[in-house]
Chain A
Amino acid sequence: KNEVEQSPQNLTAQEGEFITINCSYSVGISALHWLQQHPGGGIVSLFMLSSGKKKHGRLIATINIQEKHSSLHITASHPRDSAVYICAVKRGPDKLIFGTGTRLQVFP
Chain B
Amino acid sequence: KAGVTQTPRYLIKTRGQQVTLSCSPISGHRSVSWYQQTPGQGLQFLFEYFSETQRNKGNFPGRFSGRQFSNSRSEMNVSTLELGDSALYLCASSLVAGITDTQYFGPGTRLTVL
Decide whether A and B are members of one complex. yes
Per a CB cutoff under 8 Å, which of A30, A41, A92 touches B110? Answer: A41
Chain A residues with CB under 8 Å of B33's CB are 96
Stretch at the interface among B21-29, B41-49, B72-80: B41-49
A interface residue count range (under 10 / 10 to 19 / 20 to 34 / 35 or more): 20 to 34
Per a CB cutoff under 8 Å, which of A41, A93, A96 touches B107? Answer: A41
The total number of A-B Cβ pairs within 8 Å is 56
Complex: how many Å from CA A33 to CA B45? Answer: 14
Most buried by A among B35, B48, B88, B99: B99
Interface residues contributed by chain B, number (CB under 8 Å): 26
Q: Which A residue sits closest to B102, measured CB to CB?
A: A45
Chain B residues with CB under 8 Å of A44's CB are 105
Whether B97 sits at the interface, judged by CB under 8 Å, is yes
Contacts A86-B43, A100-B42 hold; do A95 and B99 have CB atoms under 8 A apart? yes
Chain A residues at the B interface, C-beta cutoff of 8 Å: 30-31, 33, 35, 40-45, 48, 86, 88, 90, 92-101
